[in-house]
Amino acid sequence: STVYFDDVELIGGDSEEDSNYDILWADDFNESQLDTSDWGYELGSIRGVEQQHYTKDKENVHVDDGKLVLEVTDRAKESQYKNPRGDRQVIYNSGSVRTHGKQDFLFGRIEVLAKLPEGQATFPAFWTLGSDFTLDGSINGDQGDGWPLSGEIDIMESIGDPNFVYETLHYSDTNKPGYTPGADNG
- Four-point Cα dihedral 68, 41, 3, 107, nearest 10: -100
> Can the peptide bond before residue 148 be classed as cis, meaning omega within 30 degrees of 0?
yes
Spot the catalytic one: 16, 71, 111, 152.
152
Residues in a beta bridge with 90: 81
Question: Is 157 designated active site?
Answer: yes
CB burial class (10 A; 0-12, 13-18, 19+) of residue 162? Answer: middle
- Four-point Cα dihedral 53, 59, 63, 67, nearest 10: -70
User: 98 near 42, Cβ under 8 Å?
Assistant: yes
Spot the catalytic one: 16, 42, 59, 157.
157
Q: What residues are annotated to the active site?
A: 152, 157
